């Protein structure tokens, strides 16, 4: 094997930060290369902080319907104007943050910003558009509810966090159907405010020009209320480990999702958990993927992750396995979780690879203008220090075997796992019931325990 | 800071005669054993991508032995003569990079993106599996990867709503021995029948240096890379026979073929498919633009009419898929509740007939070409995007700079060009596939004229 050359020096990006007249923070990072500019407005806080009770889904519905017309342009005119200059433009709101993103050729930046500002500041939410978007959302939901992975993640959220916790909210067709135009107008007015916005501009533009263009485009943006606070209700103690089963008759594979609530993003154990995760299921050659895919041939991929977040985001292991091996795959997952708690010691090689995978993948996040903007914006929405990228390598390197064992035992409570399975109940129900892992709870279409349970 | 030729890109794309400035500067040469080598240095980010594309795909298989090229792609990750199993992952993912591959109808590409100091290792990996794969190939490895591929088929096709569309359409569109008829993934039966000797023959025939293009894009020194390329690739032997490809001519259908398929789906779905031309055809760019203006943006003809005006469709997709020697133009439509597939087919035919009679407007064509040009440039932001553009141009057109000329050609399209291909190719001879929920054969388009397939 040829020796590797000396490691290239990674220079984390350096940017200037200022504040616009409207109160939004502005980050500009000039880059020469292709004549592209990526502008992103990152919003701190998301659906979990801004959706009123009983209106889960209004955030995404609002984001989509903003495309359907402003006070001066119809939805068609907006679409055509963007297409004429050639641009990518989209708005999305997640659980704890949101973003409006624009990527455009440098020569059309001013025009594209004008269109983006028009959508952001002056949407009209025409009644016909609201009705159409609701109808499309319901169709999309019906399609998603047929896939194992969607059923798994919805059931997991409901079972582990419960409907009273934002992490337990599941899209409900009755709620979507009940949303009104007034709901969208109210959400838009509350959410899209410069007070909790950070605008990143990356690409072929200098700081002064960027600032001037943004001041002009967003001059009319009124400030709104102050910083966001993230409050989550405390969680009930976890239930003893159980298997939650949803029926997909005739399914060729079972979708499996195993996990429990985990720590927030700001946990001091973040770096140790990231190294641990790479070893468990975060790499192709991680323990569970190597065994279940490469050794056994039962899956195309299984993987693991810590979701973190401002609240207790979950640790999960998931994947699709051939139906006949559903029970065996679950046993392997549990065995490997016990393994990282001490049953199967970490090798120096595993740890070195996990650290290298984390540290050396960092530069690639800055390969594109919008990737760079997203990486910078994340520091603001996730409450991370400005020198996060500069410190990253040393923080990862500092993780020890002792740290890994400690966090594996502290955070992987094997006695209180939710094992969610969407598969052919007739084929797998009996074997799961006798697996000895925990009771099997059949779930209905609302992710509640169904009538008869073993 | 590297000198930027990109500033002149937008203007230079319109040059004719002298030809436009290449979007990706490159150098190309050929080794004595036939390997084509392309270099595209770029020092923006300290990473480098290596791409080895073999001019072989599912098109080179035969009925009864389908799925080989893709199964082969998997086998290429199980180690080779001097590279033990697991080493590839260690030298890609394990150092903060990635490695993957994809098999198409006409070509198979293997690529790694790694930190710049691992270039020599990446070249060593690719050369070893080009020259010494069979040395370490065993029945056990083949059997295991066969199982993984079967799971891939389950996950993406058998267990996926509407997952069988391509397989069913192509079986109706093409004669039994037509090389684009069978799925890249192949059939379960053929995968089970593949023997170790079959696989060895396939490798010797197609995976020699004379049938391959090696592309290096990113942060590297071309002089050093030239030394390494010679060290690792120059002595590799050619394939067992000159690489000849089946002569594949585009086909025409005389009449409509109507099919119905029952599937675990929440909603019926209609797909219309016409046979069209291959990559190199001068009509292919116009067909791609035709797809864009029929079914991509909200103002595209089918989307505007069916989704926005009539609310009859939840989603419309229209795409020209051009393989090397022939292609398909495919329109897929999902109705909203209360609307039928028969209605959607009639509405689509009405829209298409009008477009064939009157042609598109100049503004429609300008918008579609501006968007395509923008996305072509976006794709060139990353090393991976550049490597792919260069290798594709080389393999299909013997011209790594093909993307630049293609963008220029596309910008020169007129409404008449687009009308002409609509007239010629969107004729009555097509495959019409209705996918319906189980037990609802009557939900097909024109159910009494439709043949059920399984």
What's the pLDDT tens digit per position in B282-325?
999 999 999 999 998 889 999 999 998 999 999 999 999 999 99
Band (pLDDT 50/70/90 cuts) for residue A444 is very high
Q: Report the residue of chain B nearest A365, measured CA to CA.
A: B45
A47-70, pLDDT tens digit by residue?
Answer: 999 999 999 999 999 999 999 999
Q: Do A83 and B44 count as a contact with CB atoms less than 8 A apart?
A: no
Q: Do A298 and B151 count as a contact with CB atoms less than 8 A apart?
A: yes
A93-106, pLDDT tens digit by residue?
Answer: 999 999 999 999 99
Q: Do B381 and A300 count as a contact with CB atoms less than 8 A apart?
A: no
Q: Report the residue of chain A nearest B84, measured CA to CA.
A: A1
pLDDT of B7 strictly over 70: no
The most confident of the ranges A8-22, A311-325, B238-252 is: A311-325
Q: Cα distance from B4 to chain A (closest Cα, Å)?
A: 6
The overall average pLDDT reported for chain B is 91
- Touching check for A321 and chain B: CB below 8 Å? yes
pLDDT of B368 strictly over 50: yes
pLDDT for position B15: 35
Contacts of A299 in chain B (CB under 8 A): 148, 151
- Touching check for A347 and chain B: CB below 8 Å? no
Q: Cα distance from B18 to chain A (closest Cα, Å)?
A: 22
Contacts of B229 in chain A (CB under 8 A): none
Q: Do B370 and A86 count as a contact with CB atoms less than 8 A apart?
A: yes
The most confident of the ranges B32-36, B83-87, B403-407 is: B32-36
Write down the domain spans for chain B: 20-233, 257-452
| pLDDT, average across residues A293-305 | 94
Q: Do B10 and A105 count as a contact with CB atoms less than 8 A apart?
A: yes
CATH of domain A16-217: 3.30.830.10
pLDDT for position A42: 98
| Alpha carbon distance A318, A282 (integer Å) | 11
CATH of domain B20-233: 3.30.830.10
Kindly report, as residue ranges, where domains of CATH 3.30.830.10 are found in chain A: 16-217, 242-442
pLDDT for position A223: 83
| Alpha carbon distance A75, B70 (integer Å) | 43
B103-120, pLDDT tens digit by residue?
Answer: 999 999 999 999 999 999
A255-269, pLDDT tens digit by residue?
Answer: 999 999 999 999 999
The answer to whether residues B393 and B400 touch, using CB atoms and an 8 Å cutoff, is: yes
pLDDT for position B243: 72
Band (pLDDT 50/70/90 cuts) for residue A306 is very high
Is the pLDDT higher at A339 or at B13?
A: A339
pLDDT of B3 strictly over 50: no
pLDDT of A453 strictly over 80: no
CATH 3.30.830.10 is held by the domain A242-442? yes
Contacts of A176 in chain B (CB under 8 A): none
pLDDT of A430 strictly over 60: yes
| pLDDT, average across residues A396-407 | 98
Q: Report the residue of chain A nearest B118, measured CA to CA.
A: A4
Band (pLDDT 50/70/90 cuts) for residue B12 is very low
Examine domains B20-233 and B257-452 and report if their fold is the same: yes
A200-256, pLDDT tens digit by residue?
Answer: 999 999 999 999 999 999 998 998 777 899 999 999 899 999 999 999 999 999 999
Least confident span in A248-257, A416-425, B144-153, B356-365: B144-153
Contacts of B382 in chain A (CB under 8 A): 367-368
Q: Report the residue of chain A nearest B6, measured CA to CA.
A: A34
Best to test chain B binding among A13, A29, A34, A287 (most B CBs inside 10 Å):
A34
pLDDT of B42 strictly over 80: yes
Q: Do B159 and A148 count as a contact with CB atoms less than 8 A apart?
A: yes
CATH of domain B257-452: 3.30.830.10
ipTM over 0.85: yes
pLDDT of B17 strictly over 90: no
pLDDT for position A452: 56
pLDDT for position B452: 96
pLDDT of B241 strictly over 90: no
- Touching check for A392 and chain B: CB below 8 Å? no
pLDDT for position B19: 62
Is the pLDDT higher at A34 or at B169?
A: B169
Task: Closest CB to A107: pick one of B10, B87, B266.
Answer: B10
The overall average pLDDT reported for chain A is 95
- Touching check for A79 and chain B: CB below 8 Å? yes
Q: Do B297 and A83 count as a contact with CB atoms less than 8 A apart?
A: yes
Q: Do B378 and A360 count as a contact with CB atoms less than 8 A apart?
A: no
pLDDT for position B1: 33
Q: Do B148 and A369 count as a contact with CB atoms less than 8 A apart?
A: no
Q: Report the residue of chain A nearest B224, measured CA to CA.
A: A5
- Touching check for A348 and chain B: CB below 8 Å? no
């Amino acid at each position: 094997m040829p020796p590797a050359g000396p490691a290239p020096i990674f220079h984390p990006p350096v940017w200037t930060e200022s504040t616009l007249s409207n109160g939004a923070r502005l980050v500009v990072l000039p880059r020469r290369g292709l004549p592209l500019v990526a502008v992103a407005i990152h919003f701190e806080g998301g659906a979990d902080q801004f959706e009123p009770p009983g209106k889960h889904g209004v955030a995404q519905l609002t984001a989509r319907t903003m495309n359907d017309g402003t006070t001066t342009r119809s939805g068609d005119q907006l679409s055509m104007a963007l297409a004429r200059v050639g641009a990518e433009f989209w708005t999305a709101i997640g659980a704890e943050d949101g973003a409006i993103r624009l990527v455009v050729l440098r020569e059309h930046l001013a025009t594209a910003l004008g269109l983006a500002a028009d959508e952001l500041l002056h949407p009209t939410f025409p009644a016909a558009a609201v009705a159409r978007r609701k109808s499309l959302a319901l169709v999309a939901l019906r399609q998603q509810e047929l896939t194992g992975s969607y059923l798994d993640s919805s059931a997991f959220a409901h079972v582990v966090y419960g409907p009273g916790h934002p992490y337990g909210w599941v899209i409900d067709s009755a709620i979507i159907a009940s949303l009104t135009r007034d709901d969208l107008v109210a959400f838009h007015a509350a959410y899209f405010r410069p007070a909790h916005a950070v605008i990143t501009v990356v690409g072929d533009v200098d700081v002064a020009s960027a600032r001037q263009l943004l001041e002009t485009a967003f001059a009319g943006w009124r400030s709104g209320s102050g910083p966001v606070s993230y409050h989550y209700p405390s969680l009930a103690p976890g239930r003893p480990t159980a298997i939650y089963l949803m029926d997909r008759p005739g399914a060729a594979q079972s979708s499996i999702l195993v996990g429990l609530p985990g720590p927030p993003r700001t946990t001091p154990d973040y770096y140790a958990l990231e190294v641990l995760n790479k070893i468990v299921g975060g790499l192709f050659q991680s323990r569970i993927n190597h065994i279940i895919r490469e050794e056994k041939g039962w899956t195309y991929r299984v993987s693991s992750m810590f979701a973190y977040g401002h609240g207790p985001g979950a640790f999960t292991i998931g994947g699709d396995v051939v139906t006949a091996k559903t029970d065996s795959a679950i046993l392997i997952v549990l065995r490997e979780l016990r393994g990282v708690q001490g049953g199967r010691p970490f090798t120096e090689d595993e740890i070195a690879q996990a650290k290298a995978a984390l540290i050396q993948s960092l530069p690639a996040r800055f390969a594109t203008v919008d990737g760079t903007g997203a990486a910078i914006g994340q520091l603001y929405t996730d409450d991370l220090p400005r020198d996060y990228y500069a410190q990253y390598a040393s923080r990862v390197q500092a993780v020890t075997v002792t740290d890994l064992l400690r966090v594996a035992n502290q955070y992987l409570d094997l006695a209180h796992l939710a094992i969610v399975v969407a598969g052919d109940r007739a084929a797998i129900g009996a074997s799961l019931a006798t697996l000895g892992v925990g009771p099997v709870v059949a779930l209905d279409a609302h992710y509640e325990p169904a009538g008869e349970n073993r | 800071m590297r000198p930027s030729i990109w500033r002149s890109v937008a203007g230079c794309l319109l040059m004719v005669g002298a030809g436009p400035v290449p979007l990706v500067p490159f150098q190309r040469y050929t080794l004595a054993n036939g390997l084509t080598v392309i270099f595209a240095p770029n020092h923006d980010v300290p990473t480098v991508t290596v791409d080895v594309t073999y001019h072989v795909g599912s098109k080179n298989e035969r009925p009864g032995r389908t799925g080989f090229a893709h199964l082969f792609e998997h086998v290429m990750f199980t180690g080779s003569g001097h590279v033990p199993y697991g080493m590839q992952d260690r030298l890609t993912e394990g150092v903060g990079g990635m490695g993957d591959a994809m098999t198409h109808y006409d070509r198979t590409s293997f690529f790694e993106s790694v930190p710049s100091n691992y270039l020599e290792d990446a070249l060593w990996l690719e050369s070893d599996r080009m020259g010494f794969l069979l040395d370490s190939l065993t029945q056990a490895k083949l059997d295991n990867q066969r199982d993984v591929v079967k799971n891939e088929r389950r996950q993406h096709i058998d267990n996926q709503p509407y997952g069988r569309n391509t397989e069913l359409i192509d079986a109706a569109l093409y004669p039994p021995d037509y090389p684009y008829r069978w799925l890249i993934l192949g059939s379960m039966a053929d995968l089970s029948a593949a023997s170790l000797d079959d696989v060895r023959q396939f490798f010797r025939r197609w995976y020699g240096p004379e049938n391959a293009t090696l592309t290096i894009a990113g942060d590297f020194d071309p002089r050093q890379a030239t030394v390494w390329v010679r060290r690792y690739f120059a002595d590799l032997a050619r394939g067992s026979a000159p690489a000849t490809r089946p002569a594949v001519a585009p086909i025409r259908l005389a009449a409509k073929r109507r099919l119905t398929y029952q599937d675990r789906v929440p909603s019926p779905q209609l797909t219309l498919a016409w046979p069209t031309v291959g990559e190199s055809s001068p009509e292919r760019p116009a067909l791609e633009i035709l797809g864009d203006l029929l079914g991509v943006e909200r103002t595209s003809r089918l989307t505007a009419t069916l989704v926005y005006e009539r609310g009859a469709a939840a989603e419309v997709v229209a795409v020209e898929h051009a393989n090397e020697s022939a292609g398909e133009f495919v329109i897929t439509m999902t109705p909203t509740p209360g609307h039928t597939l028969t209605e959607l087919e009639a509405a689509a035919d009405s829209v298409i007939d009008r477009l064939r009679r009157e042609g598109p407007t100049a503004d429609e064509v300008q918008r579609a070409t501006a968007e395509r040009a923008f996305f072509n440039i976006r794709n060139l932001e990353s090393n991976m995007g550049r490597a792919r553009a260069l290798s594709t141009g080389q393999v299909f057109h013997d011209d790594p700079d093909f993307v630049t000329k293609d963008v220029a050609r596309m910008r020169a399209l007129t409404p008449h060009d687009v009308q002409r291909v609509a007239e010629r190719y969107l004729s009555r001879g097509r495959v019409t596939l209705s996918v319906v929920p189980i037990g609802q054969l009557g939900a097909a388009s024109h159910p009494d004229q439709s043949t059920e397939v399984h």
